[in-house]
């Protein structure tokens, strides 16, 4: 039985020279050798006095080499077996570290990292560890023993991690967004360049270890600190929260902030990852857009109000003209007609001024500004999608485009309406001029002059063309070859034709696919025959028999004087006036006949 005990690092045996001890020691050495081979660990022993480096076979196997390639006779071989195999970039540092340990022996472990040349031309990272060996008396035996471990794989991982860390840091420091990491107490442990600038600090060192309460001594700091605590305590992320900040000059800055909890393997929140995207320009654009929308809405409401006023004024003017003109004709007093014409003329002047004012307003209304804004936002859609998201960017583009189209349509409709009204106003003024000439030239007499029916028809068509086109009604005129000149009252004949055509326009159903009024002028049996046919509502025989009774009307706002006066005017020209229809919804035909050789005849009806 061998009694072996450990006293510190030195084994104590009862008889170190006994065969049993020698055998036991041999087995122990073999066990350690096998253990080191199995562990891929190279062993070395260095003698300081001779400079000899004694290495086991595994030492060289780590380098793809054989122990037989090297001198193992006990001579100084440190250069051959170690120094010359070290990578040139590591050699000076590695040998200096070894020399330092040799010259200053301590109880501490010698440790060194360096690369050594592999037989295949690659480099192997070696972790070298060792220490001095003391003799039995506990003094330095001038001998070191140690191990070599291949740590190439872990070194590559370490280098890759270091490279990725550098790349990641370079990335976040060059991003315009603020990026930071905080510990479980809300203290910053990483802050990129943008975050440092937003805080107003000079360097990252100035913010590390501080909470928002320390960095912002106001409501902003309190808000941020409370958010941090909520993320840490509740473990819920804050995503895309709009936050207002102020720089040193007091200027507003908006950030879209997100804070995400980072958990350890136990599921506990130990970090906060934060990012803030600067949306100041977007907020400014939103404010500008909202202000522009308000201005556009005000302008739109103003234009709608003016359009309604214009329509009302036009309706009142037409109603006033019809009432006054019919009253003047019915009473047959040129003095009243003269006053009416004067009043209407004044009203037309005022109405014309109002139309011109609207035109000036429309000229100042620059639709191109809205168009340019819509095009700009549409052109920036990609950038907006990155800033506010694809849905919001698409909605913003659609909103501005709709505003532009709506305002353009409103402007077009108002401009068209004003143009039509100006044309109508011009025609009315022409008629007023004719009326004034007749009133001025004839006084109370009923003298007739030569008039051309074709010209009268053309004038009436021009006056009603805009109204007919707006309702989709076609005015078709067919004049047979010949001269259509007779003595008559130009103004009154025009009023008859206008009245008939106006009744036809009002009688046509606007929902019809085809809406037409046909005007035919021809000569038959020494008479000029003017035939006006429409595909309107028509009427039954009973209604037709009442048309020429004074006061009868089928209109809700009619006076019953229009057709009565028309027939009286035609009768005064020795002509005939008839209206026929095959029944309801079958249209109507008005036929006026005037003698070709008409002479000056006194009106038979006092108008």
CB 547 within 8 Å of CB 565: no
Residues 6+ apart with CB under 8 A from 319: 557
Is the predicted pLDDT of residue 364 greater than 90, yes or no?
Answer: no
| DSSP-based helix, strand, coil % in the chain, nearest 5 | 50, 20, 25
The C-alpha atoms of residue 220 and residue 243 are separated, in whole angstroms, by: 9
Token look-up 């603020």 returns 178
Looking at per-residue pLDDT, the higher value among 514 and 332 belongs to 514
The C-alpha atoms of residue 59 and residue 33 are separated, in whole angstroms, by: 12
- Taking only the tens place, the pLDDT of each residue in 96-113 is 999 999 988 776 889 999
How many Cβ atoms sit within 10 Å of the Cβ of residue 340?
Answer: 21
Spell out the domain ranges in the chain.
4-147, 175-278, 283-442, 449-595
CB 82 within 8 Å of CB 50: no
CATH number for the domain formed by residue range(s) 175-278: 3.30.450.20
Check whether domain 4-147 has CATH 3.30.450.20, yes or no = yes
What does R_g of the chain's alpha carbons equal in angstroms? 55
Q: Which two tokens stand for residue 501?
A: 């055509």
Query: What local confidence, expressed as pLDDT, does residue 7 receive?
Result: 30
| Helical H segments across 135-261, by residue range | 152-174, 193-199, 212-215, 219-234
Query: What local confidence, expressed as pLDDT, does residue 607 receive?
Result: 40
Q: Which two tokens stand for residue 584?
A: 């309801």
Fold of 449-595: Heat Shock Protein 90 (3.30.565)
CB 105 within 8 Å of CB 130: no
CB 401 within 8 Å of CB 444: no
- Taking only the tens place, the pLDDT of each residue in 44-70 is 999 998 999 999 999 999 999 999 999
Query: What local confidence, expressed as pLDDT, does residue 92 receive?
Result: 96
CATH fold match for the domains 175-278 and 449-595: no
- Taking only the tens place, the pLDDT of each residue in 425-475 is 665 766 666 566 555 544 444 567 889 999 999 988 888 888 888 888 989
- Taking only the tens place, the pLDDT of each residue in 234-289 is 999 999 998 888 776 778 888 899 999 999 989 899 999 999 888 888 888 888 89
- Give the mean model confidence (pLDDT) for residues 351-361: 71
Query: What local confidence, expressed as pLDDT, does residue 349 receive?
Result: 65
The C-alpha atoms of residue 181 and residue 231 are separated, in whole angstroms, by: 13
- Taking only the tens place, the pLDDT of each residue in 298-312 is 988 888 888 888 888
């Amino acid at each position: 039985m061998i009694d072996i005990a450990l006293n510190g690092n030195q084994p104590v045996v009862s008889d170190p020279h006994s065969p049993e001890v020698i055998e036991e020691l041999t087995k122990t050495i073999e066990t350690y050798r096998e253990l080191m081979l199995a562990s891929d660990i190279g062993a070395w022993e260095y003698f300081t006095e001779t400079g000899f480096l004694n290495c086991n076979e595994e030492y060289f196997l780590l380098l793809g080499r054989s122990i037989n390639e090297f001198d193992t006779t006990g001579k100084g071989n440190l250069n051959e077996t170690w120094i010359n195999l070290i990578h040139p970039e590591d050699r000076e540092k590695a040998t200096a570290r070894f020399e330092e340990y040799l010259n200053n022996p301590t109880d501490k472990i010698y440790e060194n990292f360096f690369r050594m040349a592999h037989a295949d031309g690659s480099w192997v990272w070696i972790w070298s560890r060792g220490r001095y060996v003391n003799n039995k008396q506990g003094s330095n035996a001038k001998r070191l023993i140690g191990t070599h471990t291949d740590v190439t794989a872990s070194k590559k991982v370490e280098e890759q991690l270091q490279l990725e860390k550098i790349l990641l840091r370079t990335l976040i420091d060059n991003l315009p967004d603020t990026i930071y990491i905080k510990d479980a107490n809300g203290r910053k442990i990483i802050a990129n360049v943008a975050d440092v600038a937003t805080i107003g600090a000079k360097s990252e060192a100035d913010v590390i270890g501080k909470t928002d309460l320390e960095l912002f001594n106001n409501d902003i700091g309190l808000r941020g600190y409370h958010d941090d605590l909520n993320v840490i305590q509740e473990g819920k992320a804050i995503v895309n929260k709009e936050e207002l900040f102020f720089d040193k000059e007091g200027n507003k800055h908006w950030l879209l902030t997100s804070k995400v909890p980072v958990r350890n393997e136990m599921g506990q929140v130990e970090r906060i990852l934060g990012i803030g995207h600067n949306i100041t320009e977007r907020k400014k654009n939103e404010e500008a857009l909202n202000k522009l929308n308000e201005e556009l809405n005000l302008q739109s409401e103003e234009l709608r109000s003016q359009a309604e006023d214009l329509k009302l004024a036009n309706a009142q003017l037409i109603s006033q003209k019809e009432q006054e003109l019919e009253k003047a004709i019915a009473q047959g007093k040129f003095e009243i007609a003269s006053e009416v014409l004067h009043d209407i003329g004044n009203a037309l002047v005022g109405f014309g001024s109002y139309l011109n004012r609207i035109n000036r307003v429309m000229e100042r209304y620059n639709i191109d500004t809205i168009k340019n804004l819509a095009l700009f936002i549409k052109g920036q859609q990609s950038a907006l999608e990155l800033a506010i998201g694809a849905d919001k960017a698409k909605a913003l583009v659609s909103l501005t485009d709709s505003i532009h189209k709506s305002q353009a349509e409103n402007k077009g409709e108002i401009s068209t309406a004003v143009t039509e009204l100006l044309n109508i106003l011009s025609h009315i003024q022409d008629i007023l001029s004719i009326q004034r000439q007749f009133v001025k030239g004839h006084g109370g007499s009923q003298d007739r002059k030569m008039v051309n029916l074709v010209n009268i028809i053309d004038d009436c068509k021009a006056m009603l063309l805009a109204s007919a086109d707006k309702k989709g009604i076609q005015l078709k005129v067919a004049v047979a070859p010949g001269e259509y000149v007779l003595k008559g009252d130009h103004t009154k004949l025009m009023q008859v034709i206008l009245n008939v055509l106006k009744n036809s326009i009002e009688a046509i159903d606007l929902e019809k696919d085809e809406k037409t009024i046909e005007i035919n002028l021809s000569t038959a049996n020494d008479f000029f025959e003017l035939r006006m046919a429409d595909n309107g509502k028509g009427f039954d025989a009973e209604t037709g028999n009442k048309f020429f009774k004074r006061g009868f009307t089928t209109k809700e706002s009619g006076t019953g004087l229009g057709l009565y006066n028309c027939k009286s005017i035609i009768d005064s020209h020795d002509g005939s006036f008839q209206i026929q229809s095959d029944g309801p919804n079958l249209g109507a035909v008005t036929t006026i006949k005037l003698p070709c050789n008409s002479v000056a005849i006194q009106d038979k009806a006092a108008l």
